[in-house]
Structure 1
Amino acid sequence: MTGAPKKPSVGDRQDKGGDVQAMFADIAPRYDLLNRVLSLGVDRGWRREAVREALAFAPARVLDVATGTADFALELKRRAPDSEVIGSDFVPQMLDIGRTKAAARHLDIVLEEGDALNLPYPDGSFDSVTCAFGFRNFADYALGLSEFWRVLAPGGRAVILEFPPPRAGLFGSLFRFYFQHVLPRIGGLVSGNADAYTYLPESVLAFPTPDRLAGLMRATGFRTRYRLLTFGIAAIHVGDKT
């Protein structure tokens, strides 16, 4: 009998792909419930804002990278029924749940296995590329951004929705306490995998600040802007390929 998967390393340029894959496979059945409980439903509003940015120029083809159980891909399709939406992830168990949700909602999206650092699509294939709460799990942020750039057509847009490290100040301190002490307890109880919800706050604390992520996007070639949501708990980064 095997135990829970090994907790992945956090931060950039880490050999963590296999551990991340195993961890999310383990928590896949309870992943959506935990997202709602742990964010008090606020994540839905964040996704709506990011979807609006991704669909601003009526893209014909959209790729959602690290799509997980496809919440973001389904919202893209719901808001843009005429767009072709493809979700890519390297955790088959997550994709299976996403396919069930898509069928139940009668939304026609394509969900495919794929590595975010080596996307299985030709250059210039998409008008928009999105990634919601998956980018911090990448083993190499610069390589991930270069893949976004590669598969985007000229004039295309990349949108990243992610948790930045909590900012200084009272609210940031409260959120840091919640993330480090409350969230792991609730997540561990509901999912049965305490390490997964210890990894979450650790991965957020190790993630680049919004300014630094914007700098990485500019270094890739994107014209970049970002904005903070809900007192800085989440951030939307937008990168346009000119």
Structure 2
Amino acid sequence: MSKTVTPYNAATVKKKDQVATMFNNISGTYDFLNHFLSFGIDIIWRKRAIRTLAKLQPKHILDVATGTGDFAFEALKMLQPDHIIGVDISEGMLAIAREKIAKRGLQGKFSVELGDSENLPFAENSFDAVTVAFGVRNFENLSLGLESICRVLRPGGQVVVLEFSNPRRFPMKQLYSFYSKTFMPFFGKLFSKDKRAYAYLPESIVAFPDGKDFTGIMEQAGFSKTKCRPQLFGVCSIYTGMK
């Protein structure tokens, strides 16, 4: 069983509430720091993850933990679905997503709403595909979140999860450990008003059950044909599964 890591280590406050507060606090600098701290490689990872849905050609997509909507915007461009709904527990992040949607004139294609991954407010079998980019490690209950995703996915539909993982081979393991524990928190504090947010990030990555552990949890939640595709020597992984 993996250790539960929370942004503020407040025992009396649920993880999901702490995560919502954290993302509300950093929403204004999130996009900049996301690309800056990954040297822009996160954009490549998103495109690779979305390409796994190319054969399925989903028309109705749910993007869980949509944040400011970057993954959904890329999916709209690459897959041209009829509609994408994004859900997130942070109103601050969704406010920025709505601004982007309006600015790009995509109100008819992409909508967002406040929602909890463990209790998605949609009927069973509602979506052809469900995506989660850099969000599952923030779920309070990973199994419940995946079961909720499986419930709203139609039979034959596909889930795609893009998430950070832990490199296990020399020298990437040592380099990434140094980067995540020093470089990331330093620049996170420099540009973000929330000092804990970018210390929580590497802690949550270390605690996350990645690789085969995660595909095993996916299978327990109801998914089949699960796959894990490590990126950049294991810094990030693309997970897929079918219902």
TM-score, normalised by the number of residues in structure 2: 0.92
Cα 1:9–1:235 change in 2 (3 A) is farther
Q: Distance in 2 between matches of 1:58 and 1:9?
A: 42
Q: Distance in 2 between matches of 1:54 and 1:86?
A: 16
Deviates more, 1:229-238 or 1:163-172: 163-172
Aligned pair 1:232/2:234, yes or no? yes
Q: Which amino acid aligns with 1:95?
A: L
Per the TM alignment, residue 106 of structure 1 is displaced from its structure 2 partner at its CA by: 2.8
Q: Distance in 1 between matches of 2:209 and 2:57?
A: 30
Give the 3-state SS of the residue equivalent to 2:227 in structure 1.
Answer: strand
Partner of 1:215: 216
Partner of 2:23: 24
Aligned pair 1:15/2:17, yes or no? no
Q: Distance in 1 between matches of 2:63 and 2:80?
A: 15
Q: Distance in 2 between matches of 1:39 and 1:196?
A: 16
Q: Distance in 2 between matches of 1:55 and 1:102?
A: 23
- C-alpha deviations, 1:85-138, integer Å up to 9, x for none? 110111111011011112222333011111111000001100100000011000
Give the % identical residues: 43
Give the 3-state SS of the residue equivalent to 2:234 in structure 1.
Answer: coil
Per the TM alignment, residue 231 of structure 1 is displaced from its structure 2 partner at its CA by: 1.2
1:67-78 matched pairs, under 5 angstroms: 67-78=66-77
RMSD of equivalent CA atoms:
1.6
- How many pairs were matched up? 233
Per the TM alignment, residue 9 of structure 1 is displaced from its structure 2 partner at its CA by: 4.9
Contact 1:65 1:116 survives alignment (8 Å): yes
Give the 3-state SS of the residue equivalent to 1:117 in structure 2.
Answer: helix
Per the TM alignment, residue 140 of structure 1 is displaced from its structure 2 partner at its CA by: 0.6
Partner of 1:203: 204
Per the TM alignment, residue 161 of structure 1 is displaced from its structure 2 partner at its CA by: 0.2
Q: Distance in 1 between matches of 2:8 and 2:119?
A: 20
TM-score, normalised by the number of residues in structure 1: 0.92
Q: Distance in 2 between matches of 1:106 and 1:75?
A: 15
Contact 1:185 1:194 survives alignment (8 Å): no
Gaps spanning 5+ residues in structure 2: where? 1-5
Structure 1 runs of 4+ aligned residues shifted over 4 Å read: none
Contact 2:89 2:114 survives alignment (8 Å): yes
Contact 2:167 2:233 survives alignment (8 Å): no
1:116-131 matched pairs, under 5 angstroms: 116-131=117-132
